[in-house]
C-alpha cells in the first residue's frame, strides 16, 4: 500500500478493506504468533461493528477494483477465523469461535447464505468434541445461537427481496430448521455429561434459541428435552440463578407444539409436583391436609386421567430415590424455580388460546402464604425444633415467589380472573395481617396496586358480592349479576371495601415516618416493621491492636446492615405510597371520609421528612437522610404523586391544601413531573 494513498474521509468505502486487513495483521493470531489478551477481541469487535467492515455494502459503487479488494479482505478474514477454529490451542480456537459468531451477524446476506452450512458444521464439531475445553464449548454454543438467529435474519432478507438463491427463500428456513434439529442431541448431551454451570448456561441459551426460532425442530425430541431440564431442576446441583434459566427454558417448551393441550399438560404436571413436595415440607404445619386435598381435587377431578409425572417415568424413578438424600433446602429451591416457571407461562404470549387453571393456582398460592411455621397444638409433639427452624428460614423465599405467582395470575389471566375476585381480595386481606418482613409487605402492596388499577375498587366489590351470593344462594349467575350490579352501583361494600380498609390501615402503619430521635409522626400508628430485628449498637470489648481491628470490622458490618435495612424500609414505603395512590385514583375519596384529612396530613409529613436534607432535584448532596439521591427522588416523587391524588380525589376543600401547595412549590422540578405524568 502506498504511503500516501489517502482516502477522502472516515466514511470512504476504500477505508474499510484497509482497516480489516490491519485488524487481521495486528490483532488476529495465526499459527506462528501467540494469542494476546482476550480484551483485544473487544476492540476488534467494536471496530467491525462501528465501521461495518464485513458488510460488503457497495451501494452505487462502480469501482470493480475496490469491490474486489473488499471481497478479498473479507475472504482473508474468514479464512483466518476458520484456521483458528481448527487450532488445537484452546485460546486460539476460542478466539476463532467467538469471532465467527460475530461474523455471522455482521457479514452480507450473500456471504452468509453461501457459507452458513460450512460454519455450522465446524461449530457443531466443537461441541461434540468431548476433549474440548469448557470455554471452547461455551463459546461454540454462543456462536451457534448467533448463527441460528442470523439464519432467521437472512431468511427475512431473502423473503423481502424475493431472492430465490438456494432454490427459493423457503429453503433457507427449511435448512435452518434441519440444522437446528441436529443440535438437540448434542445439547442434551452437554446437559447430562458436563458438570459445569458455564456449559449448562451456554447449552440452555442455545436450546432457548432453537425453541424460539425453530420450534418445529424440537418435534420428536420434546419428551427428551423436558426430561433433561427436569433432571437438572430436581438434581440439586444447580445454583438458583441456573435454576431460573432452566425454568424459563421449560416455559418455552410447549410453544414448540403451540397447542392448548401441551400448555395445560405441562402446567398440570408442574402443579402436581409442587403440591406433592409441599405436602412433605409442610407436614405438621398445615391445618391437617385440607389445602393439599383441595389443590389435588382441583388438579385431578374425579374421572380425569392422571398425567405422566414431570420429566417422564425414567427421570422420576431416579429422582424419587435421590430426593430422600438431598437437603430440604435444595427441594425448596426447586419449588421456587417451578413457581417462576408458572409465572412465566402465565405472562408470556402463546400461539393458542388456553384455559388457565386459576383455582388450582390460587389454591397453591394460598397454601404457601398461609403457612408461617406456627404449630397447631395437636402437632407440637410430632415436630422438632430443627424442623421448625428450617421451615422458618425457607418460608420468606417461598412466600416471595408465591406472591410473584399471584401477581402473574392477575396480570396474565385478565378476564378469567373475574369469578375469583373475592378469593384474591380475601387472600390479600389475610396476608396483610400476617406479613411482617418489609420485602414481602412491599410485594403485597405492589400486587394490590396491580389489582386496583386493573379492576378498581367498585368492580372488585361488585364481583366479590356476586361470587359470594352465587355460592351461598345457588341462584343462576345471570340473575345474580343483574341484581348485584343494580344493588352496587351507588355503594361499595363487601370485599372491595375490605380491600380499601386494608390498604388504608396498613399504609398508616408503614408510612408513619421514623425520625432520628426515635419518635414517630403525630399519627398514632405503630409501624409494622418495628417487629423486625434491629442492628445492635453495642460494641464488644477487645484487647490490643487486634481488638481494634475486629471492632472496626464489626462496625462496618453494622453500617452495612443498617443500610440494607434502611433500603428495605424505603422500598416498602414507596410501594405503600403507590398502592395508596392507586386506591385514591380509582376509588376516589375513602368511604370513611373522616379518614381523608389524616391521609393528607400523613402524606404531607412524608414529603416533609423526605425533603429534610433537600430536594432530589437540587444539585447538592443529601447528608441528613444518608440515602442515595436517586432513591430519595423516588420517595419524594411517590409522596407528591400520592398527595396530588389525595387532593384530587376529594370533593371537599382540604384544610391541608395550602400546606400541600407550598410543598409542590418547593419541590420545583419534581412537582412538574407529578403534574404532567
Residue 436 has pLDDT above 50, yes or no: yes
Band the pLDDT of 155: cuts 50, 70, 90: low
- The residue among 590 and 92 whose pLDDT is bigger is 92
> Tell me, what's the pLDDT at 404?
97
403 vs 362: CA distance, rounded Å: 10
| Helices 494-511 and 596-610, axial angle in degrees (round to 10) | 30
Report yes or no: 672 and 644 within 8 Å, Cβ to Cβ. no
Give pLDDT, residue 327: 59
Choose among 128, 126, 123: nearest CA to 144.
123
Which residue shows C-alpha cell 445461537? 145
Q: What share of the chain is helix, strand, coil (3-state, %, to 5)?
A: 75, 0, 25
| pLDDT tens readout for residues 330-357 | 778 999 999 999 999 999 999 999 999 9
Q: Are the CB atoms for 641 and 576 separated by under 8 Å?
A: no
Q: Please tell me which residue, 613 or 320, carries the higher pLDDT value.
A: 613
Closest CA to 232 of 200, 209, 262, 199: 200
Q: How far apart are CA 619 and CA 633, in angstroms?
A: 12
Mean pLDDT on 403-424:
87
Percent of the chain topping pLDDT 70: 71
Asked whether residue 537 carries a pLDDT value surpassing 60, the answer given is no
Q: Pick the closest to residue 612 from 531, 476, 517 (CA basis).
A: 517
pLDDT band at 486 (very low <50, low <70, confident <90, very high): very low
Cβ neighbors of 321 (< 8 A, separation 6 or more) are: none
CB crowding 585-614: b at 16 or more within 10 Å, else e: bbbbbbbeeeebebbbbbbbbbbebbbebb
**Confidence check: pLDDT of 624 > 90:** no
**Which pLDDT belongs to residue 174?**
81
Confidence of residue 173 (pLDDT cuts 50, 70, 90): confident
Instruction: Map grid coordinates 483485544 to a residue.
Output: 40
Looking at per-residue confidence, does 651 or 269 come out higher? 269
Q: Which of 329, 307, 458, 467 minimizes the C-alpha distance to 389?
A: 329
Q: For residue range 41-56, what is the model confidence (pLDDT) as tens digits? A: 899 999 999 999 999 8
State how far the Cα of 167 lies from the Cα of 96, in Å rounded to an integer. 31
Query: Is the model's pLDDT at 425 over the cut of 80?
Result: yes
Return d(Cα 649, Cα 497) in angstroms, integer: 16
| Element (DSSP H or E) covering residue 92 | helix 90-106
* pLDDT above 90: percentage of residues in the chain: 39
Residue 463 in this model has a pLDDT that exceeds 60: no
What angle (nearest 5°) sits at the alpha carbon of residue 220, between those of residues 217 and 225? 80
Alpha carbons 104 and 43: distance in angstroms, whole number: 18
Displacement of CA 487 from its chain's centroid (Å): 42
The residues, ordered by sequence, that sit 6+ positions from 28 with a Cβ below 8 Å of its Cβ are: 44, 77, 80, 81, 84, 95, 99
* 676 or 153: which leads in pLDDT: 153
What mean pLDDT do residues 388-399 have? 91
DSSP per-residue codes, 518-535:
S-B-SS----GGGGSPPP
Instruction: Label residue 596 by pLDDT band (50, 70, 90).
Output: low
Distance CA 207, CA 477 (A): 47
Give the CA distances from residue 399 to residues 332, 394, 481, in Å, rounded to whole numbers and listed in that order. Answer: 11, 9, 34
Asked if residue 291 lies in contact with residue 251, where contact means CB atoms within 8 angstroms, the answer is no
3-state secondary structure of 514: strand
| Count of helix runs (H) and strand runs (E) in the chain | 27, 0
* Count of C-beta atoms within a 10 Å radius of residue 388: 16
Mean pLDDT of the chain: 78
Cell of 482: 343483574
**Residues counted in the chain:** 677
Distance of alpha carbon 276 from alpha carbon 232, whole angstroms: 19
pLDDT, tens digit, 9 for 90 and up, residues 354-370: 999 999 999 999 999 99
How many CA atoms, within 13 angstroms, populate the side-chain half-sphere of residue 433? Answer: 10
pLDDT of 162 above 90: no
**Residue 313 parent element (H or E):** helix 313-323
With CA atoms as reference, report the closest residue to 224 among 251, 271, 260, 189.
189
| Average pLDDT over every residue of 482-495 | 40
Q: Which of 211-225, 275-289, 642-656 has the lowest mean pLDDT?
A: 642-656
pLDDT for the residue 668: 59
pLDDT band at 429 (very low <50, low <70, confident <90, very high): very high
Q: Which range has the worst mean pLDDT, 119-128, 319-328, 415-424, 503-512?
A: 319-328
3-state secondary structure of 171: helix
Q: What are phi and psi of 520, to 5 degrees?
A: -115, 180
| Residues 573/606, Cβ–Cβ less than 8 Å | yes
Model confidence at 461, pLDDT cuts 50, 70, 90, reads low
Nearest to 437 by CA among 402, 399, 407: 399
Contact at 8 Å (CB) between 270 and 299? no
Q: Which pLDDT belongs to residue 654?
A: 66
- DSSP sequence for 328-346: HHHHHHHHHHHHHHHHHHH
Residue 408: pLDDT above 60? yes
Q: What are the Cα distances from residue 234, in Å, to 41, 94, 288, 313?
A: 38, 32, 27, 14
pTM: 0.81
The conformation of residue 657, written as its DSSP 8-state character, comes to H
Highest mean pLDDT among 32-41, 64-73, 273-282, 512-521: 64-73
Choose between 599 and 336: higher pLDDT. Answer: 336
| Torsional class of 560: left (φ above 0), alpha (ψ -120 to 50), beta (otherwise) | alpha
**220 CB burial (10 A radius; 0-12, 13-18, 19+):** exposed
Give the distance between the most distant pair of CA atoms in the chain.
Answer: 95
Question: For the residues 620-643, what does the mean pLDDT come to?
Answer: 67
Q: Residues near 225 by Cβ (< 8 Å), separated by ≥ 6?
A: 184, 188, 207, 218, 253
Q: How far is the C-alpha of 80 from the C-alpha of 551, rounded, in Å? A: 59
pLDDT band (50, 70, 90) for residue 620: very low
Q: Which three cell numbers stand for residue 525?
A: 400508628
CB 57 within 8 A of CB 108: yes
Of 76-85, 384-393, 501-510, which one has max mean pLDDT? 76-85
Span 31-42, average pLDDT: 80
> Cell for 6?
489517502
Q: Which three cell numbers stand for residue 277?
A: 413436595
Please, are residues 654 and 603 in contact by the beta-carbon 8 Å criterion?
Answer: no
Residues 603-616 have a mean pLDDT of 74
pLDDT higher than threshold 70 for residue 275: yes
- What's phi and psi for 205, nearest 5 deg? -65, -45
Least confident of 49-53, 373-377, 649-653: 649-653
Q: Are the CB atoms for 604 and 638 separated by under 8 Å?
A: no
Per-residue confidence at 317, pLDDT binned at 50, 70, 90?
A: very low
Amino acid at each position: 500500500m502506498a504511503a500516501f494513498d489517502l482516502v477522502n474521509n472516515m466514511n470512504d468505502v476504500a477505508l474499510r478493506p484497509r482497516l480489516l486487513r490491519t485488524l487481521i495483521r495486528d490483532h488476529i493470531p495465526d499459527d506462528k504468533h501467540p494469542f494476546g489478551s482476550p480484551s483485544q477481541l473487544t476492540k476488534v469487535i467494536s471496530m467491525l461493528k462501528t465501521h461495518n467492515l464485513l458488510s460488503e455494502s457497495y451501494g452505487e459503487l462502480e469501482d470493480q477494483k475496490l469491490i474486489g479488494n473488499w471481497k478479498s479482505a473479507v475472504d482473508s478474514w474468514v479464512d483466518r477465523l476458520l484456521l483458528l477454529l481448527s487450532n488445537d490451542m484452546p485460546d486460539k480456537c476460542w478466539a476463532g469461535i467467538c469471532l465467527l459468531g460475530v461474523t455471522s451477524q455482521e457479514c452480507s446476506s450473500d456471504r452468509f447464505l453461501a457459507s452458513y452450512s460450512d460454519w455450522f458444521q465446524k461449530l457443531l464439531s466443537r461441541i461434540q468434541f468431548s476433549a474440548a475445553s469448557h470455554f471452547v464449548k461455551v463459546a461454540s454454543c454462543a456462536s451457534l445461537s448467533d448463527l441460528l438467529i442470523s439464519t432467521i435474519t437472512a431468511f427475512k432478507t431473502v423473503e423481502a427481496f424475493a431472492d430465490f438463491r438456494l432454490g427459493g427463500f423457503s429453503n433457507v428456513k427449511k435448512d435452518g430448521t434441519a440444522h437446528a434439529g441436529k443440535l438437540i442431541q448434542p445439547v442434551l448431551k452437554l446437559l447430562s455429561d458436563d458438570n459445569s454451570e458455564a456449559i449448562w448456561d451456554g447449552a440452555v441459551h442455545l436450546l432457548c434459541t432453537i425453541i424460539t426460532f425453530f420450534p418445529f425442530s424440537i418435534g420428536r425430541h420434546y419428551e427428551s428435552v423436558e426430561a433433561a431440564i427436569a433432571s437438572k431442576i430436581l438434581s440439586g446441583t444447580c445454583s438458583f440463578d441456573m435454576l431460573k434459566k432452566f425454568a424459563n427454558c421449560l416455559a418455552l417448551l410447549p410453544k414448540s407444539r403451540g397447542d392448548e393441550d401441551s400448555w395445560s399438560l405441562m402446567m398440570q404436571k408442574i402443579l402436581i409436583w409442587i403440591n406433592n413436595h409441599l405436602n412433605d415440607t409442610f407436614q405438621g404445619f398445615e391445618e391437617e391436609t385440607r389445602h393439599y386435598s383441595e389443590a389435588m381435587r382441583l388438579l385431578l377431578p374425579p374421572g380425569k386421567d392422571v398425567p405422566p409425572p414431570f420429566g417422564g417415568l425414567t427421570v422420576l424413578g431416579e429422582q424419587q430415590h435421590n430426593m430422600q438424600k438431598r437437603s430440604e433446602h435444595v427441594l425448596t429451591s426447586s419449588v421456587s424455580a417451578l413457581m417462576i416457571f408458572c409465572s412465566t407461562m402465565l405472562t408470556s404470549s402463546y400461539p393458542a388460546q388456553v384455559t388457565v387453571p386459576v383455582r388450582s393456582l390460587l389454591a397453591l398460592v394460598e397454601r404457601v402464604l398461609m403457612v408461617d411455621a406456627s404449630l397447631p397444638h395437636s402437632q407440637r409433639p410430632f415436630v422438632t425444633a430443627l424442623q421448625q427452624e428450617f421451615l422458618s428460614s425457607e418460608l420468606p423465599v417461598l412466600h416471595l415467589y408465591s406472591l410473584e405467582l399471584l401477581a402473574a395470575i392477575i396480570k396474565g389471566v385478565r378476564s378469567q380472573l373475574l369469578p375469583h375476585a373475592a378469593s384474591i381480595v380475601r387472600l390479600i386481606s389475610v396476608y396483610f395481617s400476617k406479613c411482617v418482613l418489609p420485602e414481602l409487605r412491599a410485594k403485597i402492596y405492589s400486587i394490590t396496586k396491580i389489582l386496583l388499577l386493573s379492576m378498581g375498587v367498585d368492580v372488585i366489590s361488585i364481583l366479590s358480592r356476586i361470587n359470594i351470593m352465587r355460592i351461598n344462594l345457588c341462584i343462576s349467575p345471570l340473575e345474580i349479576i343483574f341484581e348485584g350490579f343494580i344493588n352496587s352501583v351507588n355503594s361499595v361494600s363487601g370485599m372491595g371495601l375490605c380491600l380499601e380498609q386494608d390498604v388504608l390501615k396498613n399504609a398508616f402503619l408503614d408510612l408513619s415516618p421514623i425520625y432520628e430521635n426515635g419518635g414517630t409522626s403525630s399519627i398514632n400508628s405503630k409501624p409494622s416493621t418495628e417487629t423486625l430485628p434491629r442492628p445492635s449498637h453495642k460494641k464488644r470489648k477487645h484487647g490490643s491492636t487486634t481488638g481494634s481491628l475486629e471492632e472496626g470490622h464489626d462496625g462496618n458490618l453494622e453500617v452495612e446492615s443498617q443500610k440494607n435495612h434502611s433500603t428495605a424500609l424505603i422500598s416498602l414505603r414507596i410501594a405503600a405510597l403507590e398502592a395508596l395512590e392507586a386506591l385514591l385514583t380509582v376509588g376516589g375519596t375513602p368511604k370513611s371520609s373522616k379518614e381523608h384529612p389524616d391521609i393528607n396530613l400523613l402524606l404531607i409529613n412524608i414529603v416533609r421528612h423526605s425533603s429534610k436534607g433537600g430536594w432530589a432535584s437540587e444539585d447538592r448532596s443529601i447528608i441528613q437522610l444518608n440515602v442515595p439521591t436517586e432513591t430519595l427522588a423516588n420517595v419524594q416523587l411517590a409522596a407528591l404523586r400520592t398527595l396530588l391524588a389525595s387532593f384530587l380525589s376529594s370533593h371537599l376543600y382540604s384544610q391541608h391544601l395550602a400546606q400541600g401547595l407550598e410543598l409542590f412549590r418547593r419541590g420545583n422540578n419534581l412537582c412538574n413531573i407529578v403534574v404532567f405524568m
